Structure 1
Amino acid sequence: MGYAFTDDDVTFLRSRHGAKALDIVAALPLDKQTMLSDIAQVRSRYPGHDAALIETALCRRRGRAKLRAAEEMLFTDDALQQATATAVAAHRAAEIAGRYPGAVVHDITCSIGAELMELGARQGIAGVIGSDLDRVRVAMAAYNTAAVGHRATLLLADALTPTSTADVVLADPARRTGSGRVFRLDQLTPPLLELLTTYAGRPQAVKCAPGLDYRLLRERFGFSGQVQVVSLDGAVREACLWTERAGEPTQRATVLRTADDGTVDAYEVTDADGDSSAPGEIGEWIVDPDGAVVRAGLVRNYAARHGLWQLDPQIAYLTGAAVPAGERGFRVLEVTGTGERELRKVLAARDCGRLEILVRGIDVDPDRLRKRLKLKGSQALTLVLTRIGRKGVGIVCDEGRRF
């Protein structure tokens, strides 16, 4: 859970004295070997503020990979875990600015302001409002937005009590309670359906867990907007529900990838892209589509775009004569069964010593299987275990590469 910050902690950290203290604490190792002595040093130098300083320094370190301005921010451990990654927030801000030019945007569950920082930096957005029920997080959001030069209007307010007439409403219902993560739509805080109803008539972007059962949302609760599943660098981050999207695709996958120079490339697949032909024989390459494409139910649409086809209509692995640019492909070397004795023999004949195992459609634990295969060779290979119809199939491939 991390340290529970107080209003006094935030007031101190926002002060000139607190900023200087943070610089000093940030220079300490704060690792397993030195933590006890580091804590003692900070406690003697900044009594009463030692826990807040150490927690902030550690959060900033953990946040570097996720938030562009982490080294300048204040946050709790929980808030850091829940914060939207900079690349995802920036992509959404750009979409809002392009779709609703001159809009005022209100993030009604703003937490420590990760979304506000990107909205405020985006040209075309006229104003930014943030509100939350947590007084400490609102104070942190005010500091964070100011730290990067983008001020926002901050309010202490319940998300289900409209406090502005903003043009666009952004929300991120909490997916955790005191007893752990929740999965049902009515267990979110605030409840998803109440949220959508409260702001009906205004464009909304509501962030949800990537495992959201959007079919249930549509069939049982009548949601008619767009579901956008977003991934960043291969990890599926969220499903965003967009209202006010009449006449547009109902399903969208957005794939974000960070380039070597730090820029973020993106591509999208929608249910308006067309469908693929029937599944076919194993081709020259195996392609495992990005998780956003799979979660959004757009594997066949992605396949149609790139001239690929499925091995089985219920399995997300694709095959074909070429690999789409930017994707990782595995050249097929041999097709075999899934029995351990047969796999051991085939892999030994290919001098396999390092093996990546990809599994879909059959019940296999890759780590346990790898140990039981007792590989001793020098070659790196990939084993794709899946089923075609009711038959389990092993597809031995090279170690794969990104094109």
Structure 2
Amino acid sequence: MPYGFTLDDVGFLCSGAGRAALAAFAPGGDPLRDVGAARRQVGDEHAAALVETALLRARAAGRFPDGWLWTADALEQATALPVARHRAARLAAVAGDRVVADVTCSVGVETAVLSQVLGRVVGSDLDPVRLAMGRANVPGARLVRADALAPAVRPGAVLVADPARRTASGRRVRRPDEMTPPLDALPGPDLVVSSAPGLDFGLVGWAREVELVSLDGRVREAALWSAGLVEPDGPTRRATVLRSDGASYELTDADDDTADVREVGEWLVDPDGAVVRAGLVRQFGARHGLGRLDEHLAYLTGEHPPDVGRAFRVLEHGPYAEKSLRQALRRREVGRVEILVRGLDVDPDRLRPRLKLAGPHAATVVLARVGRGARAYLCAAGGAGRPPLTR
């Protein structure tokens, strides 16, 4: 159960004594010993807050600025910095001189990024503890206590929101009316909302554009943009693929989607998850000169690998049967195999031991329903193009 911070905890952690204690305390990995050491250092009243803050800072290391205050929930839902910077750059192009209100600011991640890019930013939250942490994390930021449904800004401001995607019991929600705050209750007309990738976007009536965003191969969010923040006749679906090294690309449903179904070529291509979830596989294929393996599959194929996404060199392929796949792997002396499955009821973890792998080589096996049959594609391991990304 995560520790529940109080305002007294935040006051202590921000004091000279608290900062000194945090600088001197290093968790050892044994909870009982850690608590005991913290009690000897700061007494019973603040020991739990000291331990929890040290542990959360360790989890945040390398992803967020050092020295921030967190709650466990705030860290779990915090927007990754490259994603926040991308959104801030898009907003800078459309917000003009209007105020931007981060109406679910939590401990201040998005407010900090927006302030660096835009300057005219107000952050707000109902949780007084998170607000106190935000004031410590982002000194000088304008943070106020307010309900996201009644922002403390004048009409005409651009609203940014990241509603909670879990219930109080921890269950993930898939409907916009189950989020906190509910998406349809957010005041408009100009807003962008970070939501779960699995959300039923059709239930959000005001969303003019749905942007699926991935970072280093992991789909992080679906950003919903209202009509006032996008071009009137612009795309309605967008995939934004970001990498920590600064590389990125975008696809939209306004791009060419000419990618016919064809027989498998030398390469099998697995587009990024943002492309797949945005329904832009054909656009990806058209951009890179690839065809579709099947009209219902996200796999593409061609004679040359693209420089983004994962691409596997096909060594052999045929109808899928466990016995014939086992024989092919044995013939090639494959002892390690990655198994990817699309459209078939096959559990890779259960299949792998039945293949009786033995040998010095590695391979990738793609099992997919193509047309009305199951096909197996035995490919060289790893993939080509940029370093492999895992969805």
> Which digits, 9 at most, give the CA deviation of each residue in 1:210-239, with x for residues without a partner?
11222x23xxx5335110000000100000
Q: CA RMSD in A?
A: 1.4
**Equivalent runs, 1:186-205 vs 2, <5 Å:** 186-195=177-186, 198-200=187-189, 203-205=190-192
The CA distance in 2 between the partners of 1:184 and 1:222, in whole Å, is 13
Contact 1:127/1:152, CA 8 A, preserved across alignment: no
The CA distance in 2 between the partners of 1:23 and 1:141, in whole Å, is 20
Deviation at 1:269, TM superposition (A): 0.5
Contact 1:334/1:395, CA 8 A, preserved across alignment: yes
Contact 2:207/2:225, CA 8 A, preserved across alignment: no
Contact 1:103/1:126, CA 8 A, preserved across alignment: no
Specify the alignment match of 1:112 in structure 2. 107
> Which digits, 9 at most, give the CA deviation of each residue in 1:300-324, with x for residues without a partner?
1111111011111111011111111
Secondary structure in 2 aligned to 1:181?
A: coil
> Which digits, 9 at most, give the CA deviation of each residue in 1:191-224, with x for residues without a partner?
11111xx222xx211011011222x23xxx5335
| TM-score between both structures, scaled by the size of structure 2 | 0.94
The CA distance in 1 between the partners of 2:62 and 2:176, in whole Å, is 30
Specify the alignment match of 1:21 in structure 2. 21
Contact 1:385/1:394, CA 8 A, preserved across alignment: yes
The CA distance in 2 between the partners of 1:224 and 1:40, in whole Å, is 51
Task: Using the aligned pairs only, state the percent identity.
Answer: 51
**Equivalent runs, 1:1-16 vs 2, <5 Å:** 1-16=1-16
Specify the alignment match of 1:94 in structure 2. 89
Specify the alignment match of 1:273 in structure 2. 255
Distance 1:65 1:392, change over 3 A: farther
Secondary structure in 2 aligned to 1:238?
A: strand
> Which digits, 9 at most, give the CA deviation of each residue in 1:281-307, with x for residues without a partner?
001101100000001111111111110
Specify the alignment match of 2:243 in structure 1. 257
Structure 1 stretches (4+) deviating beyond 6 angstroms?
none
Residue 367 (structure 2) pairs with residue 389 (structure 1): no
The CA distance in 1 between the partners of 2:213 and 2:7, in whole Å, is 34
Secondary structure in 2 aligned to 1:40?
A: helix
Specify the alignment match of 2:159 in structure 1. 169
Query: Which amino acid is the alignment partner of residue 31 of structure 1?
Result: G
Query: Which amino acid is the alignment partner of residue 92 of structure 1?
Result: R
**Equivalent runs, 1:2-401 vs 2, <5 Å:** 2-25=2-25, 28-32=26-30, 35-47=31-43, 48-67=45-64, 69=65, 71-122=66-117, 125-146=118-139, 151-165=140-154, 167-179=157-169, 180-195=171-186, 198-200=187-189, 203-214=190-201, 216-217=202-203, 222-243=205-226, 244=228, 245=230, 246-259=232-245, 264-401=246-383
| TM-score between both structures, scaled by the size of structure 1 | 0.91
Unaligned runs of 5+ in 1: none
Unaligned runs of 5+ in 2: 386-391
The CA distance in 1 between the partners of 2:240 and 2:307, in whole Å, is 16
Count of residue pairs brought into register by the alignment:
379
Contact 2:174/2:200, CA 8 A, preserved across alignment: no
The CA distance in 2 between the partners of 1:336 and 1:379, in whole Å, is 21
Deviation at 1:106, TM superposition (A): 0.5
Query: Which amino acid is the alignment partner of residue 208 of structure 1?
Result: S
The CA distance in 1 between the partners of 2:263 and 2:348, in whole Å, is 25
Query: Which amino acid is the alignment partner of residue 228 of structure 1?
Result: E
The CA distance in 2 between the partners of 1:312 and 1:222, in whole Å, is 32
The CA distance in 2 between the partners of 1:30 and 1:80, in whole Å, is 21
Distance 1:224 1:189, change over 3 A: closer
Deviation at 1:325, TM superposition (A): 1.3
The CA distance in 2 between the partners of 1:12 and 1:346, in whole Å, is 64
Distance 1:41 1:6, change over 3 A: same
The CA distance in 2 between the partners of 1:336 and 1:375, in whole Å, is 19
The CA distance in 2 between the partners of 1:352 and 1:330, in whole Å, is 16
Secondary structure in 1 aligned to 2:138?
A: helix
